[in-house]
Amino acid sequence: MALAIFDLDNTLIAGDSDALWGEFMAANGLVDTEVFREGNNRFYEQYKQGVMDIWEYLDFCLKPLTHFTLDELEAWHKKFMEQQITPILLNKGREQVEKHRQQGDHIMIITATNRFVTAPIARRFQVDTLMAIDLEIQGAHYTGNVIGTPTYQQGKVTRLQEWLSQHPEYTMEGSYFYSDSKNDLPLLKKVDNPVVVDPDPDLKKFAEEHEWQIVSFR
């Protein structure tokens, strides 16, 4: 049984769920619209350039979650799924997940977006394991703090290695990782079968130089 690992944003879905959630909050008045949109757009550009400070970003994007109860956030997230996520689920991504499922592979999503935003999306793809940025909860609220290593850049490798140490029945032998982003090069370099999906220009160049498989789910 091999590991079939997928990035989420701009890989299995045709957009960035974190940026879309930020825009959703702004559009629905859950944050100071003008200020939050500026920050949301600025951090997303930094992410695409591979220079985003993850801790600075998390301080920015998690703070609004602390202002609502978990039940309130769940209700908003249902609307977010209907309006923003369901329309951008990629059928070719679903088909590739299903192909690995039929092969008996263990299907994982490892994403740099937090678990609140991504868990309902991962359930749509029926993955076996989701690794995301885990959030601390106290009572009925998120605290704005993160638990463990953020699953961003090298952090994806760190978290996967931690998971493997807890699940010795799995190894990296025959492993796949599908991603669109140069931010995921650390993990792409670790798997036996790196697959770049509708890649950004820097990742496409690297993949071509190293003769990695390039595919499109769009």
Q: Which residues are part of the catalytic machinery?
A: 7, 9
C-alpha gyration radius of the chain: 17
CB atoms within 10 A of CB 61: 24
Q: What is the enclosing helix (H) or strand (E) of 215?
A: strand 213-215
Segments of 23-175 assigned E as strands = 106-114, 129-138, 141-147
Q: Is 1 in contact with 171 (CB distance < 8 Å)?
A: no
- Distance, CA of 149 to CA of 152 (rounded, Å): 8
